[in-house]
Structure 1
Amino acid sequence: MQELLSAVGPNAKRGIRSQINIQKARIKKGCLSASFTEQLDNEMAGRKFENVECGDRAHSDLLNAFRKLVPHFCLITAQVSPFVLDGTDEDDRAKLLSDYDVTGLSYDKGGSGFTLTGTRKIDTDQPLNLNTPFVTFDWARENGYDELVDLLHGEVNQEIELGLRGKCADAGRQLPLPFDQPEGVALLGAGEGGPKLLGEGAEDVEWEDVDEDGGPDGEGKFPEPSIIDEQPEGEEPAAGDQTSPDEPEPPKKRGPGRPRNPKPQA
């Protein structure tokens, strides 16, 4: 087990040392999930966590660590011959192994051995799933798999633990949203000059000139609103309509004679 700052489990406090013992890990759709036990100190019993999924995409270092397991996975599952691997150059070897992937691993409770899980691409749409038999570390060292044992105890376990502690690919992270602003600040419009902030110090914001469709004028003020009440041509005012107090009153009728309609004033 390795010691690193910051605990992994739910509701763990920052800065507490914790020890992680990985039991199972896999990469599915580019994301890491793992089962492990965690101890906050040597006096407390370990807490067990099953199938903890990391929401962000796995870091390339973790993917590369799993990729280094592929040659050993192919040899143990008898997919390729050791003579073929030893007798090919690096480019041909990479091409030969390109159809294989290691997607997961698991350890027994005592930590004496492991099992690797992987896939092989075939002609059908679905890949062929492959599992190695349970392999003890002692057997692996006795049969020339020292590099595999060192990978599992070193780089692979380390990258899995770092992934559980937050190491992930930058491409999969949630970017800050434009409306994530401090309290009391809101976004106002978004012209060519970008969004404007309305909040503290809003009186210091200078408005840009806008076109004739409307908006602030060049002096940083909104024009006073005006109301235009036009009478359609050829229509008489409806009965009971009152004229504006600014317009002159029509002349009163004179006697019983025919009323005279005044000419509308401009």
Structure 2
Amino acid sequence: MNQLTIVGPNSPEATTSIITIQRAKLKDQHLSCEFTEQRTDDAPPRAFALTCAEQVHPDLTHALSRLVPHLCLLTEQLTETSDYWPDEAEELPAIFESFTVTGFSMGRHQSGVTLIGQRELTGGRVLNLTTPYQSFDDELATYPYTGLLEATLATALTEVEAALRGKCTDYRQLDLFEQPTTTTILPFVPTPPLA
């Protein structure tokens, strides 16, 4: 739980609120999210489901891409090799090209996660993947990279919250009937009448 401004674009006069992400899903570069918001610690949470009209910022898609190695291990799609885990700055290795993480579902009190993703098969068809629920509790964790998963997910949660507060791709729609910036006057040349 992070204490941030109320959902919507940041402004100096906005009050703070506490956001708890429950589910997030990315489809066609648009974020759909279920979350609760509290104006103060002792206020009752208000539940929201929101689909953003703007396209997500590339930071969010990057954060979700960092979850792909976990998706592959938890769904037993790939096995770990010596060069399996990429550095934060580098792109994912080629073995992950056919995989994407499209969302996640948090456990109660954000104590674990279920990752949701896809694998594009060679024929162009898509295989939907859902990991088993992975608890962050050390006593219940059966996944050896639980700490790394939790840290990587924290970055994704931060980006989802930023998207809820207005962080999106900057784009400007072009005017359909855009006027030229310079006007060229052509001389009038009369055409001879047809006989």
Q: Give the shorter-chain TM-score range.
A: 0.7 to 0.9
Aligned to 2:164: 164
SS of corresponding position for 2:157: helix
Give per-residue Cα distances to partners, 1:129-151, cap 9 Å, x unaligned: 01101111124486233111111
Match of 2:62 in 1: 64
Q: Kindly provide the CA deviation profile for residues 185-220 of structure 1, in whole angstroms up to 9, marking residues without a partner as x.
A: xxxxx56635xxxxxxxxxxxxx977448xxxxxxx
Checking the alignment, whether the CA contact within 8 Å between 1:77 and 1:132 is kept in structure 2 is yes
CA contact (8 A) 1:140 1:146 kept: no
Counterpart check, 1:133 vs 2:136: no
Task: Specify which structure has the bigger relative contact order, considering alpha-carbon pairs within 8 angstroms and separated by 6 or more residues.
Answer: 2
After TM superposition, the structure 1 = structure 2 runs for residues 73-152 of structure 1, keeping only pairs within 5 Å, are 73-82=71-80, 85-86=81-82, 94-138=93-137, 139-140=140-141, 143-152=144-153
* Conserved? CA contact 1:141–1:149, under 8 Å: no
- State yes or no: 1:193 paired with 2:194: no
Partners of 2:118 and 2:101 in 1: CA distance: 7
| CA distance in 1: counterparts of 2:147 and 2:85, whole angstroms | 22
Deviation at 1:44, TM superposition (A): 2.0
Matched, 1:23 2:22: yes
Displacement of 1:3 in angstroms is 1.5
Cα gap change, 1:123 to 1:40, in 2 (>3 Å): same
Distance 1:3 1:100, change over 3 A: same
- When normalised by structure 1's length, the TM-score is 0.60
Q: Distance in 2 between matches of 1:178 and 1:130?
A: 41
Separation (CA, whole Å) in 2 of partners of 1:125 and 1:97: 16
Letter in 2 for 1:156: A
CA contact (8 A) 1:30 1:57 kept: yes
The corresponding residue for 1:4 is: 4
Q: May I ask how many residue pairs the two structures share in their alignment?
A: 180
Distance 1:191 1:113 in 2: 56
What are the superposed Cα offsets for residues 126-179 of structure 1, whole Å, 9 maximum, x if unpaired?
310011011111244862331111111x21110000011111112xx3447599
Identity %: 34
1:135–1:164 distance in 2 versus 1, CA, 3 Å: same
- 1:72 is paired with a residue whose SS is helix
Gaps of 5+ in 2: 190-195
Q: Distance in 2 between matches of 1:191 and 1:122?
A: 47
Displacement of 1:110 in angstroms is: 3.3
Q: Which ranges in structure 1 are unaligned for 5 or more consecutive residues?
A: 180-189, 195-207, 214-266
Distance 2:62 2:127 in 1: 21
* Paired AA for residue 4 in structure 2: L
Greater CA radius of gyration, 1 or 2? 1
Q: CA RMSD in A?
A: 3.0
- Please state how far the C-alpha of 1:86 moved relative to its aligned partner: 1.8
